[in-house]
Amino acid sequence: MEELKQLQKYLREFAAKRDWDQFHSPKNLTMALSVEASELVECFQWLTEEQSQNLSEQQLAAVVDEIADIQIYLARLSDKLGVDIGEAVRQKTRKNEAKYPADVVRGSSKKYTEY
């Protein structure tokens, strides 16, 4: 997770050099994150399952850019809120393990409230 902390520092400095920090409120960063996630969805809109797994170079490049944009905004948001993403993922994974025990949910796409 050290790499993520370095990314956050870089992005903090990048925004500061451009005087963009004034725009990077948690609200604005969350909205931007939502927009970028929607742009990622758009990359797959109307593709079949098979097509989505066999992207052209151009399609993959667009997906990569959107994934990067999402990570950038997520890193900025977590930095602004003082959230340790690594620890947040560890905690959420433990919750998911309890909600979705492998021996109960294996092969099922049901939500935990349905079993």
Q: Are residues 107 and 64 in the same domain?
A: no
State the Cα–Cα distance between residues 115 and 26, nearest whole angstrom: 36
Q: Are 7 and 75 in contact (CB under 8 A)?
A: yes
Residue 61 has pLDDT above 90, yes or no: yes
Q: Are residues 72 and 28 in the same domain?
A: yes
Residue 62: its pLDDT value, please? 98
Looking at the structure of the chain, the number of domains it has is 2
Q: Are residues 77 and 98 in the same domain?
A: no
Residue 1 has pLDDT above 80, yes or no: no
Q: Which pTM does this prediction carry? A: 0.90
Q: Are residues 20 and 71 in the same domain?
A: yes
Q: Where does the pLDDT of residue 24 fall: very low under 50, low under 70, confident under 90, or very high at 90 and above? A: very high
State the Cα–Cα distance between residues 109 and 79, nearest whole angstrom: 33
Q: Are residues 30 and 53 in the same domain?
A: yes
Q: Are residues 49 and 105 in the same domain?
A: no
State the Cα–Cα distance between residues 26 and 3, nearest whole angstrom: 22
Q: Are residues 75 and 94 in the same domain?
A: no
Provide mean pLDDT across the span 49-58: 98
Residue ranges making up the domain that contains 112: 87-115
